[in-house]
Homo-oligomer: A and B are copies of this chain.
Amino acid sequence: MTMLLVGNSRTDEMVGDLTTLSADALVAGGCAAQRMIWFAGDGDILVLPGKPEDAYLEYVTTLTGTRPETLTILVPPPGLLGGDILTPDRLGDRGFQDELRTVLAARPVDRVLAVYKDAAIADLATAVGIENALPGHRFSAQAGDALINSKAAFRAVAAGADVPTAPGGVVTRPEQAEDAINALLGRGHDVMVKQEFHGGGFGNEIVTRVAGVRPAGAQHVVVLPDGPSVHRYVAQRWAWLTGGRDHRLVVERYFAESTTVYAEFVIGDDGIDLVGVGEILMEPVAVGEIVPAQSIGPDVRDRLVAAGRRLCEPIRVLGYRGNISTDAILTPDGEIVFTETNGRITGSTHLHTVVGGRLLGDGYRDRRVIMERGGWAVPSFTGGLEQLTAAGLAYDPATRTGVILTSGYLPTDGSVVYCVVAEDLASVRNYERRLADLLTGASA
């Protein structure tokens, strides 16, 4: 099977208005896009925002067993926001589309795998004549994926599927937001306000009456002791809360000290298949994750998967096709409360399908714990790799243990994303300590 892989790792419906992204955020988005190389097999075509670093391309394909010389990598010319991320205007570039058409003439593709299937992706598939290779094309071409990624629409879908969500609602006006916040605060709850379109907790804020709440899933805790302070907060923050575009706002109870988990599925024409279950590390926004989730037992996992599958059913009937993460928290009381769905290639997909599926394989994936985190400071991609190798920490295909560098080098903060593969959580923690020692020079 030949695939066309598109690294459009940032879209309006993933992170909000792209034009508001900082220069660093754009660079980080471009770096994330290169992760699509993990999914590539021999003969695949990749559309990426920039040429991957040779060392990264070689590293990834060595681990996946893909021959890099068989890959075709296309990079559309820079667009309105420059060359960091694959914006819709770049995907619509005539010269790029001609180039892609030429490539496709010689190498037809069976499947399009894009990070996010917005209208730009659907239009591209139409423009180059491969609509049939994009699962759910009809639905995506009419902006259907926005419904699957809207935190507002999510609450209605979950309600209809009888899947538990946090008490709260969806509002469109400041006065409604104020009422909804006051109602929850009045019942003694903390509150989370959530932008309709964003990711990783960056579009959320926690509102509380008294200081001391530990945030998870949001960067900030805002202390609003009384009605007037709620009024001022909503008035001053309204443009941000509505994504600068009058989007709808979710107001719901915040459950402190919860564990963030997810069940990811693939929705196909014939059914809903589980991709995997994981646990997100919130410090206080998403900084990494553990697969499989370690903080929940088999009973909770089963309930999570069953309810997640129930959420996927109406979404399948609607016409969405592709990966979807059903996200939830496990509250201190042991309740599973769903928080959103993300219909896209998520930050977890490669851990399940590539690290778990291709690198570990059926013989090992159930006997390994995978932990991915960002922010390991290295001199360069190659430099980081050399450090790992010198310290005996690099991933070893023979033992199926060690540290994998999952992302390329991020120049803005000189870091890479790494992924520890070990027999159990204790061994993962041990790897983490040894990585930290590398940073401080303690191992030298």
Contacts and interface: CB of A to CB of B under 8 A. Distances in A.
A158 interface: yes
A33 interface: no
Nearest to A247: B246
A319 interface: yes
A24 interface: no
A162 B138 contact: yes
A364 B146 CA distance: 47
A11 to B, nearest CB: 11
Interface string A141-153: 1111011000011
Most buried by B among A12, A139, A141, A313: A139
Contact of A12 (B136, B172, B314): B172
Interface string A75-100: 00000000000000000000000000
Interface string A164-199: 010001111000100000000000000000000000
Contacts of A157: 144, 318-319
A317 interface: yes
Contact of A320 (B144, B160, B165, B313): B160
A245 interface: yes
Secondary structure at chain A's binding surface: helix, strand, loop or mixed?
helix
A143 B159 CA distance: 10
Contacts of A313: 317
A287 interface: no
A119 interface: yes
Contact of A142 (B144, B170, B318): B170
Contacts of A170: 119, 142-143
B169 A155 contact: no
Contacts of A172: 12, 245
A354 to B, nearest CB: 29
A210 interface: no
Q: How many copies does the complex hold?
A: 2
Contacts of A248: 143
B147 A147 contact: yes
Contact of A155 (B142, B158, B171): B142
Contacts of A274: none
B119 A142 contact: no
Interface string A306-318: 0000000110011
A317 B314 contact: yes
B141 A160 contact: no
Contacts of A246: 245-247
Interface string A289-304: 0000000000000000
Contacts of A272: none
B138 A143 contact: no
A59 to B, nearest CB: 38
Nearest to A162: B138
A224 interface: no
A104 interface: no
A162 B136 CA distance: 11
27 contacts: A119-B171, A136-B160, A138-B159, A138-B160, A142-B156, A142-B158, A142-B159, A142-B165, A142-B169, A143-B170, A144-B159, A146-B156, A147-B147, A147-B153, A153-B153, A156-B318, A157-B319, A159-B319, A160-B317, A160-B318, A161-B319, A313-B317, A314-B314, A314-B317, A314-B319, A317-B318, A318-B318
